[in-house]
């Protein structure tokens, strides 16, 4: 996932991941509908989700992606922070 997350500020990283997943799902739905007739509903569902995200200023896919392991920050260790303060760092 380094290509998806390196070189971007945190907000841009999440937005880029949402665009990649949404675009991939729409493409899969559009191309897959030739083999499975009902699969274009996937593209419609993703498009509806993107429209709702724009209108409500929320993004369910962004929330789900933020919980993925590659987007997690290390947990805060208060003992380590106190030790660093005591050492003057």
pLDDT at residue 72, rounded to an integer: 73
Separation of alpha carbons 15 and 78, rounded Å? 31
pLDDT at residue 34, rounded to an integer: 93
Does residue 43 contact residue 25 with C-beta atoms inside 8 Å?
yes
Residue entry with tokens 């003057």:
88
Could you give the angle at which helices 40-56 and 10-32 cross, rounded to 10 degrees? Answer: 150
3-state secondary structure of 78: helix
Please count the residues of the chain: 89
**Average pLDDT of span 50-57:** 93
CB atoms under 10 Å from CB of 58, counted, come to 10
pLDDT at residue 7, rounded to an integer: 53
Q: pLDDT tens digit string along 58-74?
A: 889 988 888 887 777 77
């Amino acid at each position: 996932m380094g290509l998806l997350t390196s070189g971007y500020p945190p907000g841009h990283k999440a937005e880029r991941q949402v665009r990649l997943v949404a675009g991939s799902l729409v493409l899969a739905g559009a191309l897959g509908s030739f083999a499975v007739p009902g699969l274009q509903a996937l593209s419609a569902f993703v498009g509806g989700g993107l429209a709702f995200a724009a209108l409500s200023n929320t993004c369910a896919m962004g929330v789900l992606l933020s919980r993925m392991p590659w987007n997690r920050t290390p947990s805060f260790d208060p003992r380590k922070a106190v030790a660093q303060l005591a050492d003057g760092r």
